[in-house]
Structure 1
Amino acid sequence: MTRTEHVEIEGTPLVATLVPGNGIGLLALHGSNEGGTAELARTVADRCGATSLVFTQPGVRRPVHIPSPRMAVAHCALLREFLERVALTVSLHGHMRPEAPHTVYLGGGNRDAAHVLAEALAAGIPQFPAVTDLTEIPAALRGVHSRNPVNLTRLGGVQVELPLLARTSGEANTPPGAVVDALTAGVRGLSSA
C-alpha cells in the first residue's frame, strides 16, 4: 500500500512517501533536513497502525528547507490524501536551539493533543522536558500558521520539535529507542482519547 510521488516545491524536487493507516497521521515534512524525523514518523506509525507521510530529497547533499506553511496541498496529491484520510496530525520536526539542547517543543493548533503527548514524553523520556505553553516556545517553532499542514486536518495537530539528541543516536539517523517508545505511547494515547 506504500505509494510515492515526485513533487517539486519552489524549484526543489522532493519525494513524498505515504503509508496509509488509521486516522492519526505522522508527518515528516523535512525528512532529509531534520535527521531522524523520517525514521521516527515511519516507525511510530508502523507500531500504532497510523498513517505516515514523509518528504525526502534523496541523493541531495545539502537539502533545501522549505518552511512548513509553504508545503502546500496544491503541490502534492499524497499530501491532500493524507489530510483527507487522517483526523489528527503529529508533525515531527527537528530544532538545533543551543539554549535548549534537551527540550522538546509541542506546538500546533490542537493544545489538548499536545498535553497528551507531553504526558507520555514526560513518563518515557524525562531527560527531554516537553514544553506545551506556546508563549515559551520560540515563535518559529510554534507551528500555528493556518497554512501549516499540521493544522489542516479535521482536529488539527501537534508540531513536535525535537532536539538533535532526541532524534538521532549516533548511527546515521536512528532515533533513540526510548524516544520511539515514548512517542509511540503518546500516539496510542491520542488514538484512545
Structure 2
Amino acid sequence: MHTERVTIEGAVFLTTLHLAGPVGLLALHGGVEGGTAELAREVASRTGATLLTFTQPLGPPTHIPSIRMSPCTPLTTFLTHTALTISLHGHNRRSTPRTIYAGGSNRPAARILATALSHWAPAFVPITTLSDIPHPLRGLHPDNPVNQTRNGGVQLELPVRARTSHPVPTDPEVPPREVVDGITAGVRTLMEREGVGW
C-alpha cells in the first residue's frame, strides 16, 4: 500500500494505491462523495483487485470532474497496471434515490455488475441502458480515467443509501453490506472472465 500527496487544480489529495489484480477499484472523489473510498477499499480487500482512492484531508472538499483529474503518478500507475476499471461515484438525485447507474465504456462489464447488484442488493435498481442514464452520469468521455485502461471500465453512480449506512456525514463512512456483497460478486465474476472480452 502506497500513499502519496498530489495537487490537482490547487486541491491537495491524499492518494492510496495498492497494485494487485487486473480489475481496479477507483474512487476519485472519496470524501466528497461519501462512502465511495470506503466501498472501493472493502471490495478490493475481498477480491484482490487493484485499488486507488483519492481523499482530501485538508480544507473543504473540492469536486473536480473526472475528466479533469490530472494524470498524476498514482493514477498513471493504476491505469497502466489494470486491465479494467470500476470507478465508484455518488449521485444525489432526489428523483432516483434507489437507482444505481452503470455507465462507462465497457458495456458487458456494466451488465455483469448490474446483475450481481440486482441479486445481492435488491433494494436498489441498477440501470445499464445508456439512454436511461442522465447524460452527466454516463461516464463515456475519453478523458475520463474509467475509460483509459485497456479494456475500458464501468462507472457506478451510487445514491447516498447505496454508499453509506449513515445519510448524515460520519467518520468513517460505512458502506451497506448488501452493496459491498453485490459489487464484490460482480468483480469476482469479472476477474474470473479476464481475457475473454468481459
Normalised TM-score (structure 1) = 0.96
- Offset, 1:59: 3.6
Distance in 1 (alpha carbons) for counterparts of 2:164 and 2:123: 15
Counterpart position of 2:154? 158
Distance in 2 (alpha carbons) for counterparts of 1:15 and 1:59: 9
Counterparts in 2 of 1:41-190, with a 5 A limit?
Answer: 41-60=40-59, 62-73=60-71, 76-170=72-166, 172=171, 173-190=173-190
Mean CA deviation greater in 93-102 or 165-174: 165-174
Q: Which residue of 2 aligns with 1:10?
A: 9
RMSD between aligned alpha carbons? Answer: 0.9
Taking the aligned partners of 2:7 and 2:70, their CA distance within structure 1 comes to: 11
The aligned residue for residue 35 of structure 2 is 36
Runs of 4+ in structure 1 deviating by more than 3 angstroms, as ranges, are none
Partner AA of 2:131 in structure 1: T
Residue 196 of structure 2 corresponds to: none
TM-score (norm 2): 0.93
Could you give the per-residue CA deviations for residues 131-166 of structure 1, whole angstroms, max 9, x where no partner exists?
Answer: 001111111111001000000000000000000001
CA distance in 1 between counterparts of 2:17 and 2:119 reads 30
SS of the equivalent of 1:31 reads: coil
Q: Percent identity?
A: 56
Q: Give the length in aligned residue pairs.
A: 189
Moved more, 165-174 or 27-36: 165-174
Where 1:166 maps in the other structure, the secondary structure is helix
Checking the alignment, whether the CA contact within 8 Å between 1:44 and 1:180 is kept in structure 2 is: yes
User: Does the CA-based 8 Å contact 1:72-1:149 persist in structure 2?
Assistant: no
Q: Structure 2: how far apart are the matches of 1:144 and 1:92?
A: 14
Q: Give SS of 1:4's match.
A: strand
Which runs of no fewer than 5 residues in structure 1 stay unpaired? none
